[in-house]
Amino acid sequence: MANHKSALKRIRSNDKKRLVNRLQHKTTRNAIKKLKETANKKEAKKMFPAVISLIDKLAKKNIIHVNKAGNLKSKLTKYISTL
């Protein structure tokens, strides 16, 4: 267990940040799944900018790696073009 006041505060802040990061990551994964389940091209194109925005935000905050974000965006773009 931490002995210093600052270490205790760091533990509390890390827990809060971890929960926020998990929520954002899960929200993005659900949005990606919903986009992939969409069979209508018009709806998929409408949802696409919002999903890309979520992915970019995760990459910017280092929740996911920048290359993974690029791969996800590429795969989603390819999926929408095949609809």
CATH of the domain at 59: 1.20.58.110
Domain count, the chain: 1
Q: What is the C-alpha to C-alpha distance for residues 10 and 27, in angstroms, rounded to an integer?
A: 26
Mean pLDDT, range 4-31, rounded to an integer: 96
pLDDT at 81: 94
Task: Please choose, from the candidates 49, 66, 61, 59, the residue with its C-alpha nearest in 3D space to the C-alpha of residue 76.
Answer: 49
Domain limits for position 34? 5-82
pLDDT at 71: 97
Q: What is the C-alpha to C-alpha distance for residues 51 and 55, in angstroms, rounded to an integer?
A: 6
pLDDT at 21: 96
pLDDT at 80: 94
pLDDT at 2: 80
80, 41 contact by CB (below 8 A)? yes
Asked if the model's pLDDT at residue 82 lies above 80, the reply is yes
Q: What is the pTM of this model?
A: 0.85
